[in-house]
Structure formats: structure tokens, C-alpha cells
Amino acid sequence: MNEQELRKRLELLRTEHRDLDAAITALTEAGSQDQLQIARLKKRKLKLKDQIALIEDYLLPDIIA
């Protein structure tokens, strides 16, 4: 993947991460009894966060000058 593709992928992942956060908040505030669904959403959100961090680290390497 080139840098442009990585940036596009990063934006898509961030959007999905925000959407999952909103869904988790809505389910929690609605008093949802489906804890399994909430746990799955949280797990997916964590995986997205890891993917986001990986791409960010690739695009912005930690250079010690």
C-alpha cells in the first residue's frame, strides 16, 4: 500500500471506530441487557484501535534525532 491508500484506510478505520463508540454508548444508555453484544462491539473497537495505531506508527515513524 502506498501512503495515500494508507491514509484513506486510516480515515475509514477512524470512522468505524467512532461509529462503534456511538453504538456502544447508545446500547449502554438504553439499558441494554445484551452484554454479549456490547462486549463484541468493544472487542471490535479495540481491534480497530490497534489497526489505527499500527498505520499511524507507519506513517509517522518515531525518529530520534
Q: Are 21 and 48 in contact (CB under 8 A)?
A: no
Cell of 51: 489497526
Residue 42 domain boundaries: 3-59
Q: Which residues of the chain have pLDDT under 50?
A: none
pTM for this one?
0.85
Q: Would 65 be classed as within a structural domain?
A: no
What whole-number distance in Å separates Cα of residue 37 and Cα of residue 61?
36
The pLDDT value recorded for residue 31 is: 87
The pLDDT value recorded for residue 51 is: 98
The pLDDT value recorded for residue 64 is: 67
Q: Would 64 be classed as within a structural domain?
A: no
Q: Would 31 be classed as within a structural domain?
A: yes
Alpha helix ranges (H) inside 1-65: 3-29, 35-59
Give CB contacts under 8 A, 24+ apart, made by 20-23: 20/44, 20/45, 20/48, 21/45
**Count of structural domains within the chain:** 1
Q: Would 12 be classed as within a structural domain?
A: yes
Cell of 56: 499511524
